[in-house]
Structure 1
């Protein structure tokens, strides 16, 4: 009986996520509030069903009560997130919140399958990050001076990145800053600070002098990351700055100039750094280096191929054959056990998040918040592209994680904060819209009163 259930679960998982994905896009296109609320509830039902089934399979496979306890704790956690936002922040984007919770559910299940202890740790960090993030929309509404702290953002960001150079070296790169028993990856948080800095600078002015100063400081961030061998983060910073510059100035010349400068820099990096050449070589022909440098990417491709359309089934694959699968190659591990259909839906959910963020950015009337929203949206979207593209050999590996899904405490907290900031700006825009409507109605009342007085 268990074998039949395990076999059917492959198709049920795919169907659930396909329907959830459809609901996400449907919810972002309709305007009827009652229909939208129905979609939100449908998404929550699908998410909790998927979460329950995943942990049920893990429990039946391992026959360990710890999985049942962890499931209940995560169920309460996800339920509380939805309930708090629904009651404390009713004007928040429920689609963004639901997508965040769905991606976390997928990550928790796959991580519990790979390493129970790491899943517990990731879950505890997610709880801590969510508690912090609950206050961010309120803070954005109360404090209106964030746009004035450009150089504070600059100093803090550069100081954190420089501190990484003194930190631990992991897989050939300086990524982690260790303080006692706590290890932090500062670049994950500096991404957000960097966006705030660029938005503050361009909010003041977009004249040539201001652009030169901002470019020099942005280049300093990228160079420090290159010196730390954190090439994935360096690439994200570069693309984010380029897109924010274009958004602020609307000048195609700057965009084209940035692309040319980026291409030249990539060629120089290829000549100067051996690890860059290695990554390019294994991207072009991983099979020649399958026994050493190319082992990780070839195992990733094997896993994706093994998954086929609906996967081999949860706990039925061999994702542990990919070194460090829970971090850079979580997408490959998921594809093997849940299938290509499931993984395509994950990409579509991430794309839906990007579309929602860009839509929120377009709604922001304040230039600073519009630039912040664009910067954070590009940060999120480009990180997803680098992760998925790297494990599929579409682009060279960059070593970045898939937000909410891959293992990594710093990545989890920074992603939760990023979504909270976007939601905070969405709430502010909703309040502005209501204020404008109220002003219009008040204006109409005053006009009517004047007409009566004239009569």
Structure 2
């Protein structure tokens, strides 16, 4: 039973009703040639719900709120992805949604014990290094994808969870500064993290994938802030001001010397260049306007003909077919998952830092995708976590979802029962 009075059966029923309502809309308003298509989708979605809810009963936790919200969001995305253009069944997205659930449990188990992570922190540094090297060696000419023939992998997506993880390690080292020259004292781990951040920035620049830079920058900023705020970190105001000025200078230089295609996106007037750089954003805005509040109906949209309709501009695709209210509901579900983890009392400062880092990733990616689709910022091509199509992104975000769960779904060890001494026994 939950502290707010909701039984496990009651909260799972709310999740089921959400999916049943969306599936009912598919049957009534959807565009499909054969009734078998929405039936198959319904069986897959509701079947996954029931199976996962049964599995959760065997997991010993003090709360299942995060898990219920997570499966609700994932199956919502399966329904959305199965309806773009015509109602069917997005098998690939469904498989990766199941994989994301598994990755969530893996991430949860991995970071439960902060002492284990602290002890093996250099392994995670090494993993980031291996991923960076794999991008340079195996993705081709300055690309981000490794093509294995039957599947493509984007290693940069897997850098994100480990980048978040390494910022949450070595926090205690903030109190143990080493003297360098004169009165200058440093924390070695901070400089290692700064070096890793610089390598990732150079990598993204080299691979022409500058759209992901704000996400990594958000993680680094939140990570360093959490390390600065660590008890007894004792960083001077001059140092903080210097860090702020240095960060601002880097942003100004990056904008000034950005490649030509980035400059075009920064200064393009999409409505005067509807067939060029502004074409995708124009189509995305038109789709949102045509969808209105309640949408044209599942499968009745036309935005699916535009490249990246199910990834980079998925917010517009959902708005067109399901309406702006439903698109905002999907965003609200992601925010609810984040807020649920933030408002609960964290297990440790390590888990707090981990939660803040993952929240930075999810919020940054949502903001870049939605604001880019709505022409409020330059188009970046970043996906919305769990909603957009993409295997590497789903697996990576699944791991980070497990990090969020570890921060608030605590597992308490059962204390050993000790024999109670007999107070009436006489001692000699």
User: Structure 1-normalised TM-score?
Assistant: 0.79
Out of 223, 227, 246, the position equivalent to 2:206 is 227
Matched, 1:114 2:84: yes
Deviation of the 1:168 alpha carbon = 4.5
Query: Hey, what's the Cα distance between the residues in 2 that align with 1:100 and 1:255?
Result: 37
Distance 1:382 1:89, change over 3 A: farther
Out of 274, 296, 300, the position equivalent to 2:260 is 274
User: Contact 1:43–1:98 (CA<8 Å) still a contact in 2?
Assistant: no
Query: Per-residue displacement from partner, 1:72-130 (whole Å, max 9, x unpaired)?
Result: 12322232223222332442442x22332222223212211227788211112222343
**Higher helix fraction (1 or 2):** 1
**2:373 aligns to what?**
391
**1:6 aligns to what?**
none
Query: Hey, what's the Cα distance between the residues in 1 that align with 2:221 and 2:401?
Result: 21
Distance 1:291 1:105, change over 3 A: same
Query: Per-residue displacement from partner, 1:31-60 (whole Å, max 9, x unpaired)?
Result: 734236476134223223134325535876
**1:217 aligns to what?**
196
Matched, 1:379 2:361: yes
SS in 2 for 1:61: coil
Query: Hey, what's the Cα distance between the residues in 2 that align with 1:385 and 1:351?
Result: 11
**2:152 aligns to what?**
183
SS in 2 for 1:45: helix
**1:405 aligns to what?**
387
**1:431 aligns to what?**
412
User: Contact 1:164–1:176 (CA<8 Å) still a contact in 2?
Assistant: yes
**1:102 aligns to what?**
72
**1:331 aligns to what?**
315
SS in 1 for 2:5: helix
**2:180 aligns to what?**
none
SS in 1 for 2:297: coil
Aligned 1:284-303 pairs, distance under 5 A? 285-303=269-287
Deviation of the 1:66 alpha carbon = 4.3
Query: Hey, what's the Cα distance between the residues in 1 that align with 2:240 and 2:56?
Result: 38
Question: Which stretch shows the higher mean deviation, 214-223 or 159-168?
Answer: 159-168
Deviation of the 1:405 alpha carbon = 0.9
Aligned 1:180-259 pairs, distance under 5 A? 180-205=149-174, 207=177, 208-210=186-188, 211-250=190-229
**2:232 aligns to what?**
none
Query: Per-residue displacement from partner, 1:404-433 (whole Å, max 9, x unpaired)?
Result: 1110011111222221232233233x527x
SS in 2 for 1:35: coil
User: Contact 2:69–2:333 (CA<8 Å) still a contact in 1?
Assistant: yes
Query: Hey, what's the Cα distance between the residues in 2 that align with 1:75 and 1:327?
Result: 24
Higher relative contact order (CA 8 A, sep 6+): 2
> How many residues were matched structurally?
407
User: Contact 1:51–1:105 (CA<8 Å) still a contact in 2?
Assistant: no
User: Structure 2-normalised TM-score?
Assistant: 0.83
Distance 1:54 1:226, change over 3 A: farther
User: Contact 1:326–1:407 (CA<8 Å) still a contact in 2?
Assistant: yes
Query: Hey, what's the Cα distance between the residues in 1 that align with 2:240 and 2:368?
Result: 20
Distance 1:230 1:173, change over 3 A: farther
Matched, 1:364 2:347: yes
SS in 1 for 2:376: coil
**1:264 aligns to what?**
249
Which segments of 5 or more consecutive residues in structure 2 lack a partner in the other structure? 178-185, 230-234
Which segments of 5 or more consecutive residues in structure 1 lack a partner in the other structure? 1-29
User: Contact 1:357–1:377 (CA<8 Å) still a contact in 2?
Assistant: no
User: Contact 1:164–1:186 (CA<8 Å) still a contact in 2?
Assistant: yes
User: Contact 2:2–2:63 (CA<8 Å) still a contact in 1?
Assistant: no
Distance 1:339 1:191, change over 3 A: same
Deviation of the 1:182 alpha carbon = 2.6
Matched, 1:306 2:290: yes
**1:18 aligns to what?**
none
